[in-house]
């Protein structure tokens, strides 16, 4: 056993709580852990779909291999295991197959959208085909020139009464569909969002099903230009595509008509607007945040913490042996707050999903009143959590020093995918401002109405200050939650008052809003951090578990909160809730916590339960055998296929032979 493996083993002996118990809590119950492991085993034991190292592969190799795996999963694994698109196991399938798969938009967006937008007959026709992978679809909304701002989209669908067809067209280059996943090479159908025009009148964005490739040859149909948009930071297995329409005709029936219909004579019939579209966005955001962002942070934490426990560098005491880099306070301050962030944001995502489930129940009873709150919360969470977590992954990568930069660490690949979350599904700044709109509205109501749910803390507007006078008090969740609530409501109050002031002085609403938008982003960050801290504290409070696990979770909660106080001390001081002295105490409390958490560090990341298959990291594997793994990995580099790299040696040869002649001439003359 290598020295590094022994070090990690010793670390695990120091852990003072039951790791398995914490895993069960993290997963949401022991039965979930069991199901997760069952799925994990089924995938791990099938060599055709087991996760593998992709660090050496080209974009195209990864695309090909992703497609192979996806088809195997659908054709062989699902029937064998008795899983389908609706079974409970699906969440765990997504978790355990890793990120190297294709057709994610087909199953994750195209099919659900047919359900949301289609009439019963349309659903019967298209969903059946799609579910069996007899057609492959994409969701084509974003264009080259427009993304988040839906109304700006330029693709047009003009109704032609004579033929009872729609003519889909891109009037200029910026109208070309750009970015949709699975669109470049895989899909033969697209759900296209286009401006509906009848008799010269515009009716806004509508969803159309358009066949884009021939069903036999897979060649693009006439009038269609389609292809891959080229390499990106990550998402190598996804063929994000471009799609250009030149007067493409589709039958009238291909307008998905649950919400609105066009009669053969061109009459436009609007049906009731379906707000559940927004509802399903909330659900998607919760799933996306956990699956794409928080889990990525958890994996990066696992790698960085394990590596920091076996990497030895420098002397703490002159003459003594070198110490693990984790012994350095600065390293603890870099890593452990992100472990805490993983726990904090994970529980916040679980909570968001629970809130959505309750909301869905109420919708069935006809009660849609919870939608604005839920929508605002999920938008704010999306932006704030995606930003915090992906920033964290990069900090963790850098905390691994040079080796973090190698694909062998696994972190570059994890980051490259997760970071897309900051710009897709709603650009972050736009998301922040959507949430801010709701918060300002709530603030303006608080004088007349009592607020409930996630904004109830705004009801209390009395002035106060924090009473803490020793560092230890900052370990109490109640004290911390109060800090964050006070800060959030004060920053909301201050911007809301400024907006009101501006509008009273004659500024139109949109101008006042735009003038304050910089501060509004900060308001949402304050609100969401408050929500995460409060949620974490209440989750722990309701938990029945062993005292050591409870202690360590309370420490995680306090660490997440204290790190945010130290980072944003300006806010807490400015609103007058904390004094400079108390800010010092908060930092002291945080440093003290780090030392106490240090012995449990490996247990805290082991509890996330990411297998070596999922981490694909030479430096973060469970056994800590970092260096031998690195060496074995490097030997597989494509440049090492031959001892001399012939393709480049041909450029060097003539120079080096001149060197040989000089040096050998010298040796000969010496002889």
Structure tokens at 646: 């012939």
Rounded to the nearest 10 degrees, how much is the dihedral formed by the CA atoms of 250, 253, 256, 259? 130
Question: Is 425 a known active-site residue?
Answer: yes
DSSP SS3 for 243: strand
Which residue in 52, 591, 612, 623 binds another protein (CB under 8 A)?
Answer: 591
DSSP SS3 for 630: helix
**Terminal alpha carbon distance of the chain:** 50
To the nearest whole angstrom, how small is the minimum distance from the Cβ of residue 67 to another protein?
A: 5
To the nearest whole angstrom, how small is the minimum distance from the Cβ of residue 559 to another protein?
A: 14
Which residue in 222, 453, 576, 599 binds another protein (CB under 8 A)?
Answer: 576
DSSP SS3 for 141: coil
Q: Are 565 and 572 in contact (CB under 8 A)?
A: yes
To the nearest whole angstrom, how small is the minimum distance from the Cβ of residue 33 to another protein?
A: 33
To the nearest whole angstrom, how small is the minimum distance from the Cβ of residue 503 to another protein?
A: 15
Element (H, E) at 177: strand 177-178
Q: Work out whether 178 is an interface residue with another protein (CB under 8 A).
A: yes
To the nearest whole angstrom, how small is the minimum distance from the Cβ of residue 338 to another protein?
A: 15
φ, ψ (nearest 5 deg) of residue 160: -110, 105
Q: Work out whether 402 is an interface residue with another protein (CB under 8 A).
A: yes
Q: Work out whether 134 is an interface residue with another protein (CB under 8 A).
A: yes
CB nearer another protein, residue 136 or residue 549: 136
Q: Are 288 and 425 in contact (CB under 8 A)?
A: yes
The site for another protein, by CB under 8 A, has a size of 145
Q: Work out whether 86 is an interface residue with another protein (CB under 8 A).
A: no
CA distances from 558 to 278, 305, 592 (A): 34, 19, 11
* All residues at 6 or more sequence positions from 528 whose CB lies less than 8 Å from its CB, including other chains: 380, 381, 384, 385, 435
Q: Is 480 exposed, middle or buried (0-12, 13-18, 19+ CB in 10 A)?
A: buried
**Burial profile 483-514: b = 16 or more Cβ within 10 angstroms, e = fewer:** bbbbbbbbbbbebbeebeebeeeeeeeeebbe
CB nearer another protein, residue 52 or residue 146: 146
Structure tokens at 486: 């006070």
Pairing verdict, β 241-245 and 177-178: antiparallel
Which residue in 6, 599, 657, 665 binds another protein (CB under 8 A)?
Answer: 657
To the nearest whole angstrom, how small is the minimum distance from the Cβ of residue 62 to another protein?
A: 11
Q: Which of residues 429-488 bind another protein (CB under 8 A)?
A: 429-430, 433
To the nearest whole angstrom, how small is the minimum distance from the Cβ of residue 547 to another protein?
A: 29
Q: Which of residues 193-252 bind another protein (CB under 8 A)?
A: 215-220, 227-233, 239, 242
To the nearest whole angstrom, how small is the minimum distance from the Cβ of residue 386 to another protein?
A: 10
| Chain Cα centroid distance, residue 29 | 23
Which residue in 91, 253, 360, 584 binds another protein (CB under 8 A)?
Answer: 584
To the nearest whole angstrom, how small is the minimum distance from the Cβ of residue 408 to another protein?
A: 6
CA distances from 277 to 51, 177, 283, 358, 372 (A): 34, 21, 10, 17, 13
Question: How does DSSP classify residue 139?
Answer: E
Which residue in 22, 420, 549, 602 binds another protein (CB under 8 A)?
Answer: 420
Which residue in 122, 138, 169, 186 binds another protein (CB under 8 A)?
Answer: 186
Number of C-beta neighbours around residue 395 at 10 A = 15
Q: Work out whether 394 is an interface residue with another protein (CB under 8 A).
A: yes
Q: Work out whether 174 is an interface residue with another protein (CB under 8 A).
A: yes
Which residue in 120, 199, 265, 317 binds another protein (CB under 8 A)?
Answer: 317
Interface pattern 46-65 for another protein (x via CB under 8 A) = ---------xx-xxx--xx-
Which residue in 9, 31, 367, 628 binds another protein (CB under 8 A)?
Answer: 628
Q: Work out whether 663 is an interface residue with another protein (CB under 8 A).
A: yes
Q: Are 288 and 264 in contact (CB under 8 A)?
A: no
CB nearer another protein, residue 471 or residue 521: 521
To the nearest whole angstrom, how small is the minimum distance from the Cβ of residue 169 to another protein?
A: 17
CB nearer another protein, residue 243 or residue 374: 243
Q: How far apart are CA 151 and CA 310, in angstroms?
A: 54
CB nearer another protein, residue 568 or residue 608: 568
Q: Work out whether 633 is an interface residue with another protein (CB under 8 A).
A: yes
Rounded to the nearest 10 degrees, how much is the dihedral formed by the CA atoms of 656, 662, 668, 670? -130
Q: How far apart are CA 452 and CA 527, in angstroms?
A: 15
Q: Which range binds another protein by CB under 8 A, 19-27, 324-332, 452-460, 463-471?
A: 324-332
Which residue in 80, 464, 639, 665 binds another protein (CB under 8 A)?
Answer: 639
C-alpha R_g of the chain: 28
Q: Which of residues 519-538 bind another protein (CB under 8 A)?
A: 519, 521
* All residues at 6 or more sequence positions from 532 whose CB lies less than 8 Å from its CB, including other chains: 344, 345, 348, 385, 560
Which residue in 331, 388, 454, 485 binds another protein (CB under 8 A)?
Answer: 331
Q: How far apart are CA 472 and CA 470, in angstroms?
A: 6
* All residues at 6 or more sequence positions from 346 whose CB lies less than 8 Å from its CB, including other chains: 26, 290, 294, 298
Q: How far apart are CA 236 and CA 355, in angstroms?
A: 34
Q: Which range binds another protein by CB under 8 A, 457-465, 469-477, 551-559, 638-646?
A: 638-646
Question: How does DSSP classify residue 219?
Answer: P
CB nearer another protein, residue 427 or residue 612: 427
CB nearer another protein, residue 291 or residue 401: 401
CB nearer another protein, residue 406 or residue 551: 406
To the nearest whole angstrom, how small is the minimum distance from the Cβ of residue 575 to another protein?
A: 7
Which one is catalytic: 143, 425, 563, 590? Answer: 425
Structure tokens at 446: 């608080």
Which residue in 139, 179, 338, 484 binds another protein (CB under 8 A)?
Answer: 179
CB nearer another protein, residue 238 or residue 600: 238
CB nearer another protein, residue 49 or residue 521: 521
Which residue in 13, 45, 149, 448 binds another protein (CB under 8 A)?
Answer: 149
CB nearer another protein, residue 97 or residue 355: 97
Structure tokens at 360: 């869905």
Nearest one of 344, 296, 355 to 530, comparing CA atoms: 344
Q: Give the active site residues.
A: 425
């Amino acid at each position: 056993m290598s020295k590094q493996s022994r070090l990690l083993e010793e670390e695990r002996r120091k852990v003072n709580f039951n790791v398995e118990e914490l895993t069960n809590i993290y997963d949401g119950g022991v039965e979930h852990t069991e199901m997760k492991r069952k799925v994990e085993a089924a995938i791990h034991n099938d060599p055709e779909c087991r996760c593998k190292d992709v660090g050496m592969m080209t974009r195209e190799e990864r695309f090909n291999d992703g497609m192979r795996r996806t088809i195997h999963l659908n054709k062989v694994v699902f029937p064998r295991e008795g899983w389908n698109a609706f079974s409970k196991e699906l969440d765990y399938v997504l978790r355990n197959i890793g990120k190297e798969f294709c057709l994610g938009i087909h199953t994750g967006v195209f099919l659900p959208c047919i359900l949301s937008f289609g009439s019963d007959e349309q659903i019967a026709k298209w969903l059946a085909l799609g579910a069996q992978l007899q057609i492959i679809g994409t969701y084509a909304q974003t264009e080259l020139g427009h993304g988040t701002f839906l109304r700006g989209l330029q693709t047009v669908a003009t109704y032609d009464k004579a033929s009872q067809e729609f003519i889909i067209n891109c009037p200029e280059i910026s109208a070309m569909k750009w970015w949709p996943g699975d669109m470049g090479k895989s899909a033969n159908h697209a759900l296209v969002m286009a401006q509906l025009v009848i008799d010269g009148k515009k009716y806004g964005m509508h969803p159309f099903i358009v066949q884009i490739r021939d069903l036999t040859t897979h060649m693009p149909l006439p009038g269609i230009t389609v292809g891959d948009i080229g390499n990106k930071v990550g998402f190598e297995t996804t063929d994000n595509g471009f799609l250009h329409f030149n007067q493409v005709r589709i039958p009238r029936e291909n307008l998905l008509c649950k919400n609105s219909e066009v009669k053969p004579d061109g009459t436009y019939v609007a049906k009731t607007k379906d707000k559940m579209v927004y509802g399903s966005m909330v659900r998607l955001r919760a799933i996306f945040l956990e699956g794409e962002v928080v889990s990525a942070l958890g994996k990066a934490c696992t790698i960085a913490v394990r590596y920091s426990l076996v990497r030895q560098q420098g002397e703490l005491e002159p003459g003594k042996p070198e110490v693990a880099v984790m012994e350095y306070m600065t390293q603890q301050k870099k890593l452990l707050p992100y472990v805490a962030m993983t726990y904090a944001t994970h529980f916040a995502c679980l909570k968001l999903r629970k809130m959505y489930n309750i909301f869905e129940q109420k919708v069935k009873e006809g009660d849609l009143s919870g939608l604005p709150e839920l929508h605002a919360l999920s938008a704010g969470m999306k932006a704030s959590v995606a930003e915090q977590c992906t920033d964290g992954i990069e900090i963790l990568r850098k905390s691994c020093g040079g080796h973090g930069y190698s694909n062998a660490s696994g972190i570059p690949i994890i980051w490259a995918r997760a970071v897309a979350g900051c710009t897709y599904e709603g650009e972050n700044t736009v998301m922040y401002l959507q949430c801010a709109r709701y918060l300002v509205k709530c603030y303006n109501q608080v004088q007349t109405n009592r607020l409930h749910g996630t904004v109830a803390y705004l009801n209390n507007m009395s002035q106060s200050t924090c009473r803490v006078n020793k560092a230890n008090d900052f370990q109490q969740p109640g004290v911390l939650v109060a800090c964050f609530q006070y800060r959030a409501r004060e920053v909301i109050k201050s911007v809301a008052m400024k907006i009101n002031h501006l509008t009273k002085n004659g500024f139109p609403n949109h101008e006042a809003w735009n003038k304050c938008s910089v501060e509004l982003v900060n308001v949402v960050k304050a609100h969401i951090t408050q929500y995460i801290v409060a949620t974490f504290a209440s989750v722990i409070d309701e938990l029945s578990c062993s005292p050591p696990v409870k202690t360590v979770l309370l420490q995680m909660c306090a660490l997440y909160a204290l790190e945010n106080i130290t980072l944003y001390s300006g806010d807490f001081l400015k609103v007058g809730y904390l004094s400079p002295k108390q800010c010092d105490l908060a930092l002291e409390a945080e440093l003290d916590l780090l030392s106490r958490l240090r012995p449990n560090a490996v247990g805290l990341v082991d509890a996330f339960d990411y297998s070596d298959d999922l981490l694909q990291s030479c430096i973060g594997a469970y056994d800590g055998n970092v260096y031998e793994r690195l060496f074995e990995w490097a030997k597989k580099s494509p440049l090492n296929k031959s001892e001399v790299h012939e393709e480049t040696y041909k450029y060097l040869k003539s120079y080096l032979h001149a060197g040989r002649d000089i040096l050998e001439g010298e040796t000969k003359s010496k002889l």
